[in-house]
C-alpha cells in the first residue's frame, strides 16, 4: 500500500510549515535541556553505586583509590554503543580486540600497586586511557605505552581534553618499556605476557612495585612484584583474565 501524502497549499502550507518548524525547535530545545540533566545527575549516581556496591563491598579500602574511582568518569572512556553499561562490573570492548577492565579489577590493581603522590608510574597498555586517568589522580607522572596506534591517539586526545597534564602516552612496544624515563616507582601492566618481561624488571626502581597478569590465554594469575636491594620478590595474588600482551 502506498502512503497518502497531502501537500498543503497557500496559507495552509505556510501555517503547516510554521507549526512544523516550531515543533522541531521545541523538540531540539528539549533534547538539549535533557542532555545535561543526564550528565549531571544520572552518571554521578551510577558512579557512586559502582564504588559502593562493586568496590567497597568487595574489600577495597584505600581512601585515595576510592576517591579516584568516584571522580574519573568511566562513561567517557567507552563507546556510545556500550555507554549505558559503563558502571556495571564488567569489562567492555573498546575496539581493535581490546577491552577496558571491569571497575573492581582497576581498583584492586591500583590499590595493590599502592601509588604515592610523588611516584612516577609506567603503565603498559593504555587502552582507552581510563586506568591512566585513575593513576593520574594519585601520582606525580604517568608514562603509558599502547601498541595499537589508534587507541594511543584516541586516549591522548581524550585525556588532553580532560586536562590531564601529568600523563604522557607513547605508541610502542610495551615489552621494551620506556627506558629513557626509568626508573619507575610503580609499573602497572594491563595485558598478560606469558612471563614477566625482563626489561620491565630492569626499569623498576628499588622499592618499586609492579602489578601484572602473567600467563597464557587459558590461565593467568595477577602478580605483585617488588624490587628490593637483595633482589626480586614475586607474589601471586588471584586468577584473572586479560587480553594477551602483544609484541611489536
Per-residue model confidence as pLDDT tens digits over 35-53: 333 444 589 999 999 999 9
Q: How is the chain split into domains, by residue range?
A: 89-240
Interval 185-199: pLDDT, tens: 999 999 999 999 999
19 against 123, higher pLDDT: 123
User: How far is it, in rounded angstroms, from Cα 63 to Cα 68?
Assistant: 9
3-state secondary structure 69-96: HHHCCHHHHCCHHHHHHCCCCCCEEEEC
Which residue carries 614475586 as its cell? 234
pLDDT in tens, 51-90: 999 999 999 999 999 999 999 999 999 988 899 999 999 9
- Tell me the percentage of the chain whose pLDDT exceeds 90: 79
Residue 13 reports pLDDT greater than 70:
no
CA angle 78, 79, 83 (to 5 degrees): 70
Domain spanning 89-240, CATH class: alpha beta
Q: How far apart are CA 174 and CA 42, in angstroms?
A: 37
Beta bridge partners of 227: 232
Task: Look at residue 41 in the predicted model and tell me its pLDDT.
Answer: 58
Secondary structure E strands in 130-172: 141-146, 167-171
Q: Residues with catalytic annotation?
A: 101
Q: Alpha-carbon distance 59 to 201, whole Å?
A: 29
Would you tell me how many other CB atoms lie within 10 Å of the CB of residue 104?
Answer: 18
Average pLDDT on 2-29 reads 36
Contact 69, 50 (CB under 8 A): yes
Range from 1-5, 82-86, 154-158 carrying the lowest mean pLDDT: 1-5
Whether 19 shows a pLDDT value over 60: the answer reads: no
Residues 217 and 222: their CA atoms lie apart, in Å, by 13
Query: How many Å apart are CA 14 and CA 17, to the nearest integer?
Result: 5
Cis peptide leading into residue 183 (ω within 30°): yes
Confidence of residue 22 (pLDDT cuts 50, 70, 90): very low
What is the value of pTM for the model shown? 0.83
Amino acid at each position: 500500500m502506498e502512503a497518502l501524502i497531502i501537500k498543503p497549499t497557500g496559507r495552509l502550507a505556510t501555517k503547516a510549515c510554521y507549526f512544523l518548524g516550531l515543533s522541531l525547535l521545541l523538540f531540539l530545545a528539549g533534547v538539549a535541556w535533557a542532555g545535561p540533566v543526564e550528565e549531571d545527575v544520572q552518571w554521578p549516581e551510577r558512579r557512586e553505586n559502582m564504588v559502593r556496591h562493586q568496590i567497597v563491598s568487595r574489600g577495597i579500602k584505600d581512601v585515595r583509590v576510592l576517591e579516584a574511582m568516584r571522580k574519573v568518569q568511566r562513561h567517557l572512556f567507552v563507546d556510545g554503543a556500550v555507554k549505558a553499561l559503563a558502571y556495571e562490573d564488567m569489562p567492555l570492548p573498546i575496539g581493535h580486540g581490546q577491552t577496558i577492565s571491569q571497575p573492581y579489577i582497576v581498583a584492586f590493581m591500583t590499590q595493590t600497586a599502592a601509588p604515592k603522590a610523588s611516584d612516577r608510574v609506567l603503565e603498559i597498555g593504555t587502552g582507552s586511557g581510563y586506568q591512566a586517568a585513575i593513576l593520574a589522580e594519585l601520582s606525580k607522572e604517568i608514562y603509558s605505552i599502547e601498541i595499537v596506534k589508534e587507541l594511543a591517539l584516541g586516549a591522548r586526545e581524550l585525556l588532553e581534553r580532560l586536562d590531564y597534564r601529568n600523563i604522557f602516552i607513547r605508541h610502542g612496544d610495551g615489552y621494551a618499556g620506556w627506558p629513557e624515563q626509568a626508573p619507575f616507582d610503580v609499573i602497572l601492566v594491563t595485558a598478560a605476557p606469558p612471563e614477566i618481561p625482563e626489561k620491565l624488571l630492569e626499569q623498576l626502581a628499588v622499592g618499586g612495585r609492579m602489578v601484572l597478569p602473567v600467563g597464557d590465554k587459558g590461565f593467568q594469575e595477577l602478580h605483585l612484584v617488588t624490587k628490593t636491594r637483595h633482589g626480586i620478590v614475586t607474589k601471586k595474588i588471584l586468577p584473572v583474565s586479560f587480553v594477551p600482551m602483544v609484541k611489536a
